[in-house]
Structure 1
Amino acid sequence: MKALKAAFPHTIPVLTGYLFLGFAFGILLSSKGYSVGWAIVMSTVIYAGAMQFVAIGLLTTVFQPLSALLITLVVNARHLFYGISMLRQFSGTGRKKPYLIFGLTDETFSILCSAEPPQDVDRGWFMFFISLLNQAYWVIGSALGGILGSMVAFNTKGIDFVMTALFVVIFIEQWKSQKYHAPAIIGIAASALCLLLFGAGNFIIPSMIMIVVLLTLLRARLERRAAE
């Protein structure tokens, strides 16, 4: 209970974002003829944010397994880098580790990287409840969207932009919570360069690789400057 109480305040920004994001997903899915049950199952089992929005299109077109596999890999490839960076934090978490890996979304990763539990709270349970609460918000939002979408007709044009809006808000919160912004500037610069070089459809993986390489090479200098 201590870990749950300590984790909840850190998840409030995600609560507001995920309820709307899940709501948008539920509405979009219901507009394609799928019941609220499908929204709940997908948000519980897949729980992949942007990929769930992409999956709506995959479900409503001719099924192509190889294409679906490649699209999923490209959309979620960034989680490879998230997982590598969390190896140390997840070590020693025991039976909680599989769920921590499963629940590692962009927003949860952001919180786990910056939030520190109180001294009398177990870190493993603290991270577990952050992950669990965030997924609960997503599932609840999806269910509410699916219910309302099945009852009222919506014009869904542009509704998936809420995902981008949440990323912007999280970035702003991270920027405000840190005094040293060099790593964030490196991330922005690398992403912008890869966007120019590879285009909007192919820049994510190259930009993640460039960011990891640059941060690795500059790690000692960045840590020294941050400490100063």
Structure 2
Amino acid sequence: MKKTLESAFVTTLPVLFGYLFTGIAFGLLLSKAGYGVLWAALISTVVYAGSMQFVLVTFFDGGLSLFTMAMMTFAINIRHSFYGLSFIQKFKEMGKKRLYMIFSLTDETYSLLCSAKTPEGVDEKRYYMAIALMDQIYWIIGSVLGSVAGALITFDTTGIDFAMTALFIVIFVEQWLEARNHLPALVGLAAGIICLLIFGPGNFILPSLLSSVLLLMLLKARLDVTEEADKADKEQEDVQ
């Protein structure tokens, strides 16, 4: 178990620094909206929806009903349903733990699980669970710290919600540098830009995800060939 936790901690280090500061940003905004530490901890534990939590702060100020907020949360985070498609089989094998894995599959956790290589001698299911759990703990700690700081420090929080966008950019760049095949990333970028131009900033996420999935399915044969070639090259490099 110790090796599993150590391996998961090393894997989640990029998210640790990102979630701490982004969580602090959320906690600050929530504090400025008049909600204390307990609210920050509760929302980050039960909702745990990243960018949606920043939007949630404005919902509180707007006096929207719980039903409206629930529907808006579903619409904004519906992209997570696409993330789970590639982990259906692995999550099924995790028994009751699959419920938490589904709940905790944020953008960053999904990114780590896609690229994570289970260390030798470590159980994959426990490794995945540790990654997901650590990521949420980082987010909760950041949210609480931000809420406490917001209650003690007075300053202008304008633009602080850009922290979530910055975290996405950092993770994308890191994966771009590590990946040998950039075609999936280019497909996603192209789909996002085209859908943004067609549907506008408020409605482009779902169409871009759908078009990305369809394009990647069409390109699956080519991607599989490239992946096999990359594996062969890596094995040859390891031998040398």
Name the TM-score class by shorter chain. over 0.9
Q: String of CA shifts for 1:159-217, please: whole Å, max 9, x gaps.
A: 00000000000000110111111111111111111111111110000000000111111
* Matches of 1:73 and 1:46, distance apart in 2: 11
Residue matched to 1:223: 224
Residue matched to 1:147: 148
Report how far residue 66 of structure 1 moved.
4.4
Q: Secondary structure at the match of 1:207?
A: helix
Q: Which moved more, 1:20-29 or 1:84-93?
A: 84-93
Matches within 5 A, 1:8-157: 8-157=9-158
Q: Give the letter for the 2:134 counterpart.
A: L
* Matches of 2:74 and 2:93, distance apart in 1: 28
Q: Secondary structure at the match of 2:62?
A: coil
Q: Which moved more, 1:82-91 or 1:63-72?
A: 63-72
Report how far residue 117 of structure 1 moved.
0.9
Q: Secondary structure at the match of 2:35?
A: coil
Q: Secondary structure at the match of 1:86?
A: helix
Report how far residue 84 of structure 1 moved.
1.4
Report how far residue 144 of structure 1 moved.
0.5
* Matches of 1:16 and 1:46, distance apart in 2: 21
* Matches of 2:218 and 2:73, distance apart in 1: 30
Superposed CA RMSD: 1.1
Matches within 5 A, 1:164-175: 164-175=165-176
Q: Give the letter for the 1:50 counterpart.
A: S
**Identity within the alignment, %:** 50
Q: Give the letter for the 2:105 counterpart.
A: L
* Matches of 2:155 and 2:35, distance apart in 1: 15
Q: Which moved more, 1:58-67 or 1:34-43?
A: 58-67
Matches within 5 A, 1:183-198: 183-198=184-199
Taking structure 1 as the reference length, the TM-score comes to: 0.97
Q: Give the letter for the 2:70 counterpart.
A: L
Report how far residue 88 of structure 1 moved.
2.2
* Matches of 1:188 and 1:148, distance apart in 2: 36
Asked whether 1:203 is paired with 2:204, we answer yes
Q: Secondary structure at the match of 1:94?
A: coil
Residue matched to 2:214: 213
Q: Give the letter for the 1:111 counterpart.
A: L
Unaligned stretches of 5+ residues in structure 2: 230-240
Report how far residue 91 of structure 1 moved.
2.5
Unaligned stretches of 5+ residues in structure 1: none
Q: Secondary structure at the match of 1:155?
A: coil
Count of aligned pairs between the two proteins: 228
Q: Which moved more, 1:21-30 or 1:2-11?
A: 2-11
Change (3 A) 1:65 1:43: closer
Residue matched to 2:3: 2
Q: Secondary structure at the match of 1:100?
A: helix
Q: Secondary structure at the match of 2:187?
A: helix
Q: Secondary structure at the match of 2:216?
A: helix
* Matches of 1:53 and 1:164, distance apart in 2: 11
* Matches of 1:48 and 1:95, distance apart in 2: 21
Report how far residue 62 of structure 1 moved.
2.1
Q: Give the letter for the 2:166 counterpart.
A: A
Report how far residue 83 of structure 1 moved.
1.3
Q: Give the letter for the 2:16 counterpart.
A: L
